[in-house]
Structure 1
Amino acid sequence: MISLDEAVTARLESHGARFEVLVDPDAALTIKRGEFEGDLEDVIAAEDVFENASRGDRPAESDVEEVFGTTEPLEIIPEVIQEGEIQITAEQRREMQEQKRRQLINTIARNAINPQMDGAPHPPDRIESALEETDFRIDPMEPVESQIDEALDALRPVIPIRFEEVTMAAQIPAEHAGSAQAQIRQFGDLVREEWQNDGSWIGVVEFPAGLQNDFYELVSEQSGGEGETKKVRDEEDIRTR
């Protein structure tokens, strides 16, 4: 379960009665869209149905039975969310908006590059500053993923930006290859790998372009600074690495 501080109220009024439940705001939105796949008990603050959640008042059992055909909270809670309205305070809205703004900025930073700077990533601070120059405002009630395209449209007149994946090759000396290759192959999608006669390892990995600096740091850290990296532009690059 979640804490009361994290929860929002979903309210349904029916048959002259009011029913309220306490639920995680993001989970409430996925439940409302019919996309929730988790465990309901993990995203609610109380396994209960209220008439007034802030006071802890409960509706008459006869009203609950009449409207829902059951008194089982775990069966009722999704219906209240799906059929009712999600109530959030101004403070909750601000907190949700800020949280999703940070998620949006980080998502864009992980995936976007500057096409005018040979595919260099944009730091989060630059994306944040550029967003502040636009009219774009994050909607706290919508998933971040559904707002990315609109945010990119707003950013393009301010900074050169596009989403892209890169393919990088890393060569790790034999003394570090065992542990390093395990970390590198998990960084993205492993395109191919080769073990050389001297025991060194070459791996080719594809991942979001905005993570290039993280990749360089990982290779350096895992190889004791002795690893080499190269951006792979075509199949010939892979063969000649």
Structure 2
Amino acid sequence: MPINQPSNQIKLTNVSLVRMRKGKKRFELACYQNKVQDWRSGVETDLDEVLQIPSVFLNVSKGQVAPNDDLKASFGTTDQDKIILEILKKGELQVGEKERQAKLQQQHATVIDLVTSRCVNPTTKRPYPTTIIEKALSELGFNIVATKSAKAQALDAIKQLIAKQIIPIARARMRVRLTADAKEAKKYREAIVSLIEQIETEDWSQEWACVGFIEPGKYRELGEKLQQESKGRANIEVLDMAVIQEGEEAI
């Protein structure tokens, strides 16, 4: 004899939950992994791509759909669309262990890459392998977390590595010279120098000539900004490279 399952029981697997307590009840939404943050940031606008089931649950793991009486008592309405939007906006995202570990591993790799790209051995002026940076941070007791931006953590890690000198390490810098028509350069100078870490010299006598230091990763952005502002009538020249990749000669 077939067993009749209750009509409000829906079984779901491999979901991300968004939970919200309203009144005396806790409500849940069953969402696709990684889609809730995309929706909250505006990257995803289609709710069908976010919700596995367009229903409000009392317990997703048990497939227990919230009765209309509970919705009315807690939200003052039984309009599922309005309630779902409120839970998506204000609810707490529950991240699964595998998803959490994957995000942490990705964050870890990003932070290590950022530190590696911005630092050198001050004696050789060459970047360290990522394995050396990773080991130095481990000895430092520096913990990378998934809830803080990778850039902020990388900058903090660099400060601590330089302060403690577990390995000989210094910030990498590229020395560049910018040249342009002096009259035209006055119109966009501020937008350009905001990308320069330190100005060494600046001359306005015959043309605008600015020599300064930047992070190697800023070179492309600075060059593109300079060409955009000057309409292609300015130049950028690398005078010295603090970071020399294996097999390359210093410029």
- Structure 1 and Structure 2 fold alike (TM over 0.5): yes
After superposition, where does 1:1-241 map in structure 2 within 5 Å?
5=14, 8-21=16-29, 22=31, 24=33, 28=37, 31=40, 36-41=41-46, 44-46=50-52, 48=54, 49-64=56-71, 67-68=74-75, 69=77, 71-73=79-81, 76-77=83-84, 79-110=86-117, 112-114=118-120, 116-117=122-123, 119-156=125-162, 157=164, 158-159=166-167, 160-162=169-171, 164=173, 167=176, 188-190=221-223, 204=236, 213=245, 231=251
Q: CA deviation at 1:12?
A: 0.8
What SS does the aligned partner of 1:121 have? coil
Which structure 1 residue ranges, 5 or more long, are not aligned? Answer: 170-185, 194-202, 218-228, 232-241
Name the CA distance, whole Å, in 2 between partners of 1:167 and 1:64: 63
What SS does the aligned partner of 1:133 have? helix
What SS does the aligned partner of 1:153 have? helix
Q: How much identity, in percent, do the aligned residues show?
A: 20
Name the CA distance, whole Å, in 1 between partners of 2:32 and 2:242: 34
More helix by share: 1
What SS does the aligned partner of 1:10 have? strand
Name the CA distance, whole Å, in 1 between partners of 2:133 and 2:88: 35
Name the CA distance, whole Å, in 2 between partners of 1:162 and 1:26: 37
Q: CA deviation at 1:135?
A: 1.3
Q: Decide whether the 8 Å contact of 1:121 with 1:211 is kept in 2.
A: yes
Which structure 2 residue ranges, 5 or more long, are not aligned? Answer: 1-12, 179-218, 228-234
Deviation by residue 1:103-143 (Cα, 9 ceiling, x = unmatched): 21122233x12161465333322222222212111222333
Q: Decide whether the 8 Å contact of 2:104 with 2:146 is kept in 1.
A: yes
Name the CA distance, whole Å, in 2 between partners of 1:64 and 1:210: 62
Moved more, 94-103 or 147-156: 147-156
What SS does the aligned partner of 1:116 have? coil
- Off by >6 Å, runs of 4+ in structure 1: 209-212
Instruction: Give the root-mean-square deviation of aligned CA atoms.
Output: 4.3
**Which letter maps to 2:16?**
V
Superposition TM-score, scaled by structure 2 size: 0.53
Name the CA distance, whole Å, in 2 between partners of 1:44 and 1:211: 44
Name the CA distance, whole Å, in 2 between partners of 1:38 and 1:190: 29
Deviation by residue 1:74-128 (Cα, 9 ceiling, x = unmatched): x545532553333234444333222211121122233x12161465333322222
Moved more, 95-104 or 156-165: 156-165
**Which letter maps to 2:87?**
V
What SS does the aligned partner of 1:46 have? coil
What SS does the aligned partner of 2:140 have? coil
Q: Decide whether the 8 Å contact of 1:11 with 1:20 is kept in 2.
A: yes
Q: CA deviation at 1:52?
A: 1.9
Q: CA deviation at 1:14?
A: 1.0
Superposition TM-score, scaled by structure 1 size: 0.55
